[in-house]
Chains A and B, each alone.
Chain A
């Protein structure tokens, strides 16, 4: 295990100090569609950076990570640190994350506020954070400890909710994480809407947005989804990433918020399982909406 990372600046400040990345595509290095190699080869002008997903793997990722690191600007999205669990995850998982980051030049590391293991057992999806004060406090402790061993700032992301457990608003939880751990956050607009759907507030996807300190939002995520309807009319958000269209609700939320996040550094469209054409098209859609509201948001090189 490497020594805890040292430094004066908070993880949040280090993100704020990073250059604006612009508009990026979230891709899985193990996917054939879209294959990152073809996106880089055929569509390099369409995106500013790639957000790299490894499914939390650190045993088979090195060649791809090195290749991408050489080729394009990038951010990194790990998974499996289970920061909202009742205790810290196994050390080897943290080491794996740090190892992957060692091959990259990423300004930060995104991690879902969710768990993949409960009582040591793998689950078939990411169980999102239990939204209670106790859970919030434990998550903050976990994140602060994790940050000691991860060489770049952690950027926690609100996870998708199909069921929600807890008595506090998801945006209070996210704000509590941001300030408690002194970190920036990823605001995934679809995931926020997924929680609203659990509360029966799907028609008002930005309900409670004033609770959130939007200056803490470093990165925004959008992704394709399907919304299932239950017999009683309730709706359930199913996170499909590139295998579906970006819901109109997410785009509307982007339009409403794009100029209200002063420290926004990156907007990622998660496109795993999309065709190359669909991936590029979704990013263009998001770029146009953002440009109409916040024309000054662009990657640092372009802004200069």
Chain B
């Protein structure tokens, strides 16, 4: 199917820099079954023009897909990998991880796969940025991309709230952060997401309230606390959810 092959080849030439280099430098066909005339059509695009246009679109992908949705993760990746934005997009699109995306990677699936791929490949990144997957997940919640319900609690192994703030407000990229549990309640209305940081006990109680559990049932998961303490936390969290419901959820 020559037309299929032509489109596949064009796709690979555009997004895969290794394929592009191999094709223009060594004549390696982006798709093996391409005919000589197909190869001539691809060469007709012109290496220099293609490279220039690809660079323009790499900037667009960074500026339109990732920077607005997951800005701290995007900055952290550039800092930890020592890449500028263009190089980061070029590496991402060149990676098999990029093919995991759904549409414009709005749920961050491809970026997550890329981060995990980089961490598994580099001991250094595994040491300096083990919190990157958590940070991405956190920012995707903040962007409303993972939130399946109007209110939900998420648990992170690293203090992602502080990491994000350091990156965005002080341009500081943490290096080798130690694990530190972090819990958040994300509440979504039709326009925006609100986040409330919780401690571990509060997170457990809020999770129970959202699931419609009784205080007794919730307390079974918190054996270290007396029932009175659980009741007190329950009341506090109930009030929090009620006030969010009144001020935020109903405002949508």
Cross-chain contact A198 with B49 (CB below 8 angstroms)? yes
Contact of A218 with B by CB under 8 A: no
Measured between beta carbons, the chain B residues less than 8 angstroms from A198 are 49
Contact A236 B8 (CB under 8 A): no
**Pick the contact of B53 from A121, A138, A162 — CB < 8 Å?**
A162
CA distance A86 to B7 in the complex (A): 8
Q: Is the CB of A232 within 8 A of B10?
A: no
CA distance A200 to B61 in the complex (A): 27
Question: What is the CB-to-nearest-CB distance from B108 to chain A, in angstroms, rounded to a whole number?
Answer: 14
CB–CB B8/A118 < 8 A? yes
A-B pair count, CB < 8 Å, reads 81
- The B50-84 residues at the A interface (CB cut-off 8 A) are 50, 52-53, 56-57, 60-61, 64-65
B25 part of interface (Cβ distance < 8 Å):
no
Are the CB atoms of B7 and A164 closer together than 8 Å?
A: no
Chain B interface: which size bin?
20 to 34
Q: Please judge, given known A-B contacts A138-B3, A167-B41, whether A122 and B103 are in contact too, CB under 8 Å.
A: yes
| CB pair A124 B60 closer than 8 Å | yes
| A159 to B10 CA separation, bound complex (whole angstroms) | 16
Of the listed stretches A5-13, A71-79, A126-134, A174-182, chain B binds A126-134
Whether A119 and B7, one on each chain, are in contact in the complex, defined by CB atoms closer than 8 angstroms, is: yes
Which of B1, B8, B41, B42 has the most chain A CB atoms inside 10 A of its CB?
A: B41
Cβ-defined partner of B10 (8 Å) among A118, A134, A138, A230? A118
B10 A86 Cβ-Cβ under 8 A: no
Interface membership of B212, Cβ < 8 A: no
A275 within 8 A of B: no
User: Which residue, A123, A132, A163, A198, has most C-beta atoms of chain B within 10 A?
Assistant: A163
Q: Which of B1-49 contact A (CB under 8 A)?
A: 1-4, 6-8, 10-11, 14, 41-42, 44-46, 48-49
CA distance A132 to B238 in the complex (A): 66
Closest to A119 in B: B8
Q: In this complex, what residue of A is CB-closest to B44?
A: A165
Q: Is the CB of A230 within 8 A of B11?
A: no
A122 to B107, CA, bound (A): 14
Contacts of B3 in A (CB 8 A): 86, 130, 132, 134-135, 138
- B213 at the A/B interface (Cβ < 8 Å)? no
Cα A127 to Cα B8 in complex, Å, equals 12
Is A262 interfacial (CB-CB < 8 Å)? Answer: no
Contacts of A132 in B (CB 8 A): 3, 6, 41
- Determine if A208 is an interface residue (Cβ-Cβ < 8 Å): no
A154–chain B nearest beta-carbon distance, Å: 20
Is the beta-carbon distance between A125 and B7 smaller than 8 angstroms? no
A48-61: contact bitstring with B at CB < 8 Å (1 yes, 0 no)?
00000000000000
Cross-chain pairs A/B with CB under 8 angstroms, 19 sampled: A86-B7, A118-B7, A121-B101, A123-B11, A124-B104, A127-B7, A127-B10, A130-B3, A132-B41, A135-B6, A138-B3, A162-B53, A163-B45, A164-B45, A232-B48, A234-B49, A234-B52, A236-B49, A236-B56
Q: 11 more A-B contacts (CB under 8 A) besides A86-B4, A163-B53, A164-B44? A: A118-B8, A119-B7, A124-B61, A124-B65, A124-B104, A127-B7, A130-B10, A165-B6, A165-B42, A166-B41, A234-B49
